[in-house]
Amino acid sequence: MSFTQKEIIKQILEWQSKKEDEVRELKKMTNYFLENDRTKKAREVAFSDELSELRNQFSSFFSTHSKGEQ
């Protein structure tokens, strides 16, 4: 399949727009849920040494853990 320059630029712009939509939607959805004690405790467990092997099998799923909590 061949693309003209114009089509490629359009594709990139659309892709960028979709990514921004995705991030915006995730932030919005995350803010909908109130954090509670169970959430905090579970997060500590998720970053325990015991689960390090499983954590390494995911690329960005664990990457947003704030540096201050590590």
Partner 1 sequence: MKIVDVEELHNLEYDGPLYLVLDKTKQNESDPRACGCASLALLNSILFLKEKMNIQDGQTIYGEMRRIQKLTKEEKNAVLPENMLSFIEKHSVFNSCRLLVMNPNGMLADVFFKIFLRRLTEGSVALVMMEIPAKKNDRARNVLNHVSFVHSKDGEVYFDGLRVTLDFLLRAFYFSTPTTLMIFALNNRGQDEK
**Measured distance CA(54)–CA(32) in Å, rounded:** 28
Q: Would you put residue 21 in left (φ > 0), alpha (ψ -120 to 50) or beta?
A: alpha
Contact call for residue 10 and partner 1 (CB under 8 A): no
Query: Cα 1 from chain centroid?
Result: 31
Residue of the chain from 38, 67, 68, 70 that contacts partner 1 (CB under 8 A): 38
Number of residues that bind partner 1 (CB under 8 A): 34
* Residue 47 burial (CB count, 10 A): 14
Contact call for residue 5 and partner 1 (CB under 8 A): no
Contact call for residue 64 and partner 1 (CB under 8 A): yes
Q: Where on the chain is the footprint of partner 1 (CB under 8 A)? A: 18, 21-22, 25-26, 29-36, 38-39, 41-43, 45-46, 48, 50-51, 54-55, 57-65
